[in-house]
């Protein structure tokens, strides 16, 4: 059996008046992430890692802003579920994902368990196959100054039998 690995990264600006959604979980904060979907950088990074591992392009290849099946504000968890279906159709199954959210604020330690459950649920796997971490950049760069939030992810896939 073949195993593959992929890397994903995403970043969005923070904006007032939008809800903050990270790894499928609504997080209490004074601003949210700008984007066509819910702006969930963690889920977007995971999607890109999964697609990269399967050599199926990236999130923009499959979920274009002008596609009627991808309406404004769509939950990124829906896109993650569609991604897992694309992987299965190509003969791949998710082994695990590991993601890091980079944000100065808000502190995310209380939401990590819910985030792991949300991502696992959207992928149809157990929580033990999903790891989510959060870190800051010690007030450096756009994430450290509160202008945006970014995330990176690694995913592994194996061939379906």
Q: What percent of the chain has pLDDT over 90?
A: 89
pLDDT at residue 72, as a whole number: 86
Number of domains in the chain: 1
What letter does residue 63 receive in the DSSP assignment?
S
The answer to whether 76 and 43 have CB atoms below 8 angstroms apart is yes
Average pLDDT, the chain: 95
- pLDDT of 106 strictly over 90: yes
The answer to whether 83 and 50 have CB atoms below 8 angstroms apart is yes
Q: What angle do CA 115, 147, 83 make, to 5 degrees?
A: 40
Domain range spanning residue 74?
3-159
What letter does residue 81 receive in the DSSP assignment?
H
Span 3-30, pLDDT tens digits: 999 999 999 999 999 999 999 999 999 9
**92-102 and 148-159: which strand pairing?**
antiparallel
Span 74-102, pLDDT tens digits: 999 999 999 999 999 999 999 999 999 99
pLDDT at residue 87, as a whole number: 98
Q: In sequence order, which residues have a C-beta less than 8 Å from that of residue 123 and are 6 or more positions away?
A: 80, 81, 84, 94, 97, 129, 130
| DSSP H or E stretch at residue 8 | strand 3-15
Whole-number Å distance between alpha carbons of 158 and 8: 17
- pLDDT of 150 strictly over 80: yes
Q: In sequence order, which residues have a C-beta less than 8 Å from that of residue 81 and are 6 or more positions away?
A: 122, 123, 124
**How much is the average pLDDT of 144-152?**
95
CATH number at residue 117: 3.30.1330.50
Q: In sequence order, which residues have a C-beta less than 8 Å from that of residue 100 and are 6 or more positions away?
A: 132, 133, 134, 135, 151, 152, 153
**How much is the average pLDDT of 137-161?**
94
């Amino acid at each position: 059996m073949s195993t593959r690995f992929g890397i994903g990264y995403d970043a969005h600006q923070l904006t007032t008046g939008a809800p903050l959604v990270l790894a499928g979980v609504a997080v209490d904060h004074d601003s949210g992430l700008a984007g066509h979907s819910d702006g969930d950088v963690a889920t977007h990074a995971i999607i890109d890692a999964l697609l990269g591992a399967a050599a199926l392009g990236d999130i923009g290849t499959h979920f274009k802003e002008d596609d009627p099946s991808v309406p404004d504000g769509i939950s990124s968890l829906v896109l993650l579920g569609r991604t897992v279906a694309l992987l299965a159709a190509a003969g791949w199954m998710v082994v695990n994902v590991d993601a890091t959210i980079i944000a100065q604020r808000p502190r995310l330690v209380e939401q990590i368990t819910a985030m792991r459950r949300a991502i696992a649920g959207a992928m149809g796997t157990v929580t033990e196959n999903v790891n989510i971490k959060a870190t800051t950049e010690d007030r450096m760069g756009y994430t450290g100054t509160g202008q945006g939030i970014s995330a990176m992810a690694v995913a592994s896939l194996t061939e379906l039998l």
